[in-house]
Each structure stands twice: as C-alpha cells, then as structure tokens.
Structure 1
C-alpha cells in the first residue's frame, strides 16, 4: 500500500502543547486534563470510551479489525502532596512520581484544598540568606528539606487548618513555559504533555488527509504512568502491538536527539520487543524521519506497564529527546513533529508480524530474529 502524503499541523501541535501545559495534573489529580482531551477528540470526531478512573481509549477503525494496535501517551505529570502541616504553618510535601527536590526549590505552586486553590512557593528550609548564611549552601537536597510557603497570613498549624489546608492536598507546579523562536520548547511537564500533543497532531493528520488505517488502532491516554501503573488495565485481548510516546533523556552517555525521534531499545525493565522496535526503525528509514536509538538506564513507560500487567503484546517506545528530564525540561518542536509523523506512518503500516493475529502460532509460523527480519539499511540520523 502506497502511503498518502501528509503534513503535521505545526500550529495545532504547538497550541495543544501550550493548552495542556496550563492544566495542572499530577498523578491522581487528572480529571481536568481528561476532560480537555475528550473535548479535543470530540472536535476531531474520534470515537472513544472512558474507564471509570478516566483513561481514554480511542478507536480508529481499520480495514482489518484484528489484530489491533495501541498508541499510548500519559496525561499525568510529576507533582507533590501535603504530608504534614508544620507548627509554623509551612507545608511539608512528599513527591508524586520520582523526582528530586532539587528541581522543586523555587517552584511556584497551586495547593488544591477541599475548599479551593491556594498559591505558594516551594522553598528550602533555610531560605533567608541574611539569616542562615552558608547553611543555605550546605543543607541536604531531600524532600525533608523543602516546604511550601502559602501566600496567606499563616503563622501556625491552626492558621493553615482554618484556611482549609489538609494533609493529602495535591500540589501542582507551574510549568514556566517558554516557546523560543528557534524552535526550542522549555517547560516543566513536557513529560508527557509534549507526547500528548504529538499524538493529537498525528490523529488530526489521519483525519485531515483521510489516511488509511491498516488495522484497528487505539490512541490511549493514561493517568498514572509517573507512579508505575499506566496502561496496565486498558488493553483488550485483540491488541497485539503497543507503542508508547514519551521523553527520551538527553545527557552524557545517552544517544537521544532533540530534533528527531529516538527509538528506545531497552530501559530499566529490559529490552523492548525486537520486531516492533525494528518495524519502527524501518518506518523512520523508509520515510526519511531523522532518528536515533538509545538505551535508558533509569526509565519506565506505559508500554512496559502493559507487559508487567501480563498482556501478551509486542511493546515499543518512540521518544522526543529532552534535556533535564523531570526538571526544567527542554525539547525541540522538530522532535515532536517527527514523532507525530512516525505515528501516522505507523498507523498506516501493516502489523510488525503477520501471525500475531493468532494467540498461539505454530512453530513453523514463529519467527527467527537472527535470520528473518528485513530492515532498511539507511544510517540513523546523527
């Protein structure tokens, strides 16, 4: 089947990213983001269903109904929660998701109480240079050494309680976003609002250009990837391939790129599926999508959560190279566009392995990695 030419709507992608970044949604506090994405899918005339907790399962009807494939991103972000109201009225917090308090210091936040939203700042315990002098530089970097100063007349635990603050209140960090003229995007929470914007832009291209969907494809938006659950409950028995979209950490010793797609070969859970991963690489080579391969040392994804939940699926991960992950993150608009391009090409591609439609292939049908997988030999992007 010959692919239909298309372009990704860059303005739409960027507008979606900027809109998503304004929505506070640490894991466990994601309903507003769910409602926003549902509204966008309605505008795109995409059929979808909701689980009782709010995972969105879209449906792009294919020429063939089984096997199915899923393309997944997550709506939740890192954040925090009030764990203690101190005697002086300051709030001790515990992280939601895995990240360092180093990146929390100085953050402007919203505290979502049972009676409304309050504003504040996360500060180190020793914050006044005119009082603590060098102790500011020597205090440890831990969550026990930061606190939230709420912007109200609060000087005691009783004051905080009177304003409706309680243990367990969610704390969401402002994104502090900036879109540079050179295409760089700097913000908290690009993980994974940038991936979500890429998926929405890919879906829009499928609709705008009437892209043929080879097999039923389910765009899925999950709620708890940052805490390790993610996609585990959201796949039905017909899905045989699951591709995640997420950040690709850029640092010394990594091979991720900021202006193309980075295909994950392995993360801390183990290798990604050989055939599906090489299918994605082949799509990059065939369609001139700049790309790289990488291995992520301390990493977890929605695709992995499906495997850990016991689903017998092939799993893969495409990423946009991101500097300072789980901190003040930076990626490039080109990376998001190329991720969206790859998603569209994937949606109109055949299954990675034809026999995956069978739950139990014969030994004659089973594949041999060393001998049978054809791949385009074009060099990766550097």
Structure 2
C-alpha cells in the first residue's frame, strides 16, 4: 500500500514554509500556519507551552504509540548592540559561521511588528577604504547589519523602532531548478516539515489505517537544543526524528537518497529501529544511505537526554551545505517520503 508522491504540492508547501521567517524564539507565525493546515486536514492537535504542535492520528493499537518529529525553527540572529554608526551588532541564534551569512539580505523584526530591511556585511567591506577587506576575521566584532533606512547614529536607529533583542531573519532565496534541485536557506528542517505535513495529508486522503497511534510533533526550538524533548506521551515507544542528512567529505549521504543516521554526536541511535528502517527501504526499493554525522544532534537525541525511555531513530533528505547555502534534490524528498510512509504503515516490532 503506497501513495503517489505529490511533487508540485510538496515543493509549493516547502516554498511557503521557508518564506515564513522563523528563527528559534520567533516562530509564532509559522506555527499558526501549521495549525491552519492541520485544521483544514481535520487532524486533532494540541500546542505545548513552548509553542510546539503535536498532531495525533489514532491507530489500531492505542497502547503503543509512535512519534515523528520535524522542526520549523531556523538559524537567525538577534540585535546585540546598536552601534554609534546606527548599524547593528548581532548575536547568533543556532550554530552557523559568519561567512555563511555575509552579504545576505535580512529583516529586523521590531517589537511593534514593523519589519526593517537590511544587509549583513563586514564592517571592512569597502575595498577602496579597508586594506584588510578580504583578510579581516569574520566574527561578531566585524559583522554588522547595514540598515536600509536613513540613519547615521544609534538614536536615529532607535527612533525607527529597533532595539536590542529584536529578531533578525535571513532571506531564504528559494529556487527550484529544471534539473530537480531545490536551493534555499532553511531546508533544515523545513524540508522535513513539508514531508510530515504531506504524509498526514496522504494518510487522511487515502484513509490509511495506521497499525499504531502516531503523533506528529512539529517542534520549534530544535536549533537551540530543546525542541522535542518534552510533552512526549507516555505510550510512545518509538521516536523518529525527521531531519536533514549531512553531506561532505567522508559522508555517504547525498542529495538523491534518503539518509538514515546510525550515530551522531550524542551516540548511536537505537540499533533495531535503525535496522528496521534499512530493511523497509530495501523491501520497498527505496534508495537510501546509512551515515554517521559527527557534529550533529536531533530532537530524538534531545528526548533521550531529557530521560525519555524510547527507541530513537533518525532519517531525512540529504542536504548539501548545511547551515549555509543549502540544497537538495527532488529525488531525495521522494525517497524520504516513501520511507516515512512505509514506516508509519508497518507493524511495530514486538519483543
């Protein structure tokens, strides 16, 4: 039993998601978007005090549950200081490198709701003035936001409503190529969020009968380490994080298959559940790669650190240039979607 992958709908949903600013701590708008989609799908859900959403579809076995999670929060920044020049010093949200956002357009989200446009630049950008324009360190002291407003000092910047603590979001620059690539910031983890929403829609549309009650946990604090580490129902036995596969030297993950993580910086994932995912992929002719991510953690590993007694696993589309200029391919989304569907429709292993 399987459903056809809806490419156009998935890509459009992904585009909609990445174009809603949602740096960790500033996710109210995107979580409202998720709520509206779940309401349209007539899927019951609840919202946690931290702002996450947990949707639930009842299965034939209501005593042992599954939970799948993806996160909507992204990298971003906050205003750390308003400089004497009227420009802004930044504080990072999430783990990225300053060079990955140098030259990027951004929005400053003020407390009043106003959005102010700007560009993230090195202070020493002008090569006709600064001898070290190419060699100066890309760090918190040298990176700043140039505002697209007529301001030349801190008082003028404050007068337009900007203050310390305001959130800053980076332009995603979403693009789909004729060759099947999807390029955008924030594919981590909005690609997986799109896949989970589409999976829920497919379950409802095809009237699939799930063998076990299944929760879909859309978290909003993963990039800062505590997204899906609470509000896990006591009946949950299996916890599957749906997050990006990291690509680079020494990795097996690529942009064309689904990545299954055997181990990350938190340690090995549950062996039997990981092997089940591999066997499902083989049985369904789903292209997959097994991999280890050395500098990585997920909502599943955060849940274990919080003390939850669950079997945990991780899979997701392969994402090139994570936490920078990200890219994946439609094939990776297709294989990830196929494995997710195979998993939720498969009977839970009994011991």
TM-score range, shorter chain: over 0.9
Deviation at 1:181, TM superposition (A): 1.1
**3-state SS in 2 of match to 1:203:** helix
What residue is the counterpart of 2:123 in the other structure?
125
The 5-angstrom pairing of residues 90-109 of structure 1 reads 90-109=87-106
Please tell me whether residue 346 in structure 1 is matched to residue 347 in structure 2: no
Deviation at 1:131, TM superposition (A): 1.1
CA contact (8 A) 2:264 2:295 kept: yes
Deviation at 1:49, TM superposition (A): 0.9
What residue is the counterpart of 1:256 in the other structure?
253
CA contact (8 A) 1:202 1:341 kept: no
Structure 2 length-normalised TM? 0.98
What runs of 5+ residues in structure 2 fail to find an aligned partner?
none
What residue is the counterpart of 1:358 in the other structure?
none
Deviation at 1:208, TM superposition (A): 1.7
Deviation at 1:52, TM superposition (A): 2.3
CA contact (8 A) 2:70 2:218 kept: yes
**3-state SS in 1 of match to 2:129:** helix
The 5-angstrom pairing of residues 131-170 of structure 1 reads 131-132=129-130, 134-170=131-167
4+ residue stretches of structure 1 with deviation over 2 A?
none
In the alignment, which of 9, 23, 41 is matched to residue 6 of structure 2?
9
The 5-angstrom pairing of residues 1-382 of structure 1 reads 4-115=1-112, 116-132=114-130, 134-352=131-349, 354-355=350-351
Q: Deviations over 1:69-122 (max 9, x none)?
A: 100000100000000011111100011001100111011000011121101000
What residue is the counterpart of 1:364 in the other structure?
none
CA contact (8 A) 1:267 1:295 kept: yes
What residue is the counterpart of 1:365 in the other structure?
none
Cα distance in 1 for residues equivalent to 2:50 and 2:260: 30
Cα distance in 2 for residues equivalent to 1:330 and 1:347: 27
**3-state SS in 1 of match to 2:156:** helix
Q: How many residues align?
A: 350
What residue is the counterpart of 1:359 in the other structure?
none
Deviation at 1:351, TM superposition (A): 1.4
Structure 1 length-normalised TM? 0.90
Larger Rg: 1
CA contact (8 A) 1:203 1:344 kept: no
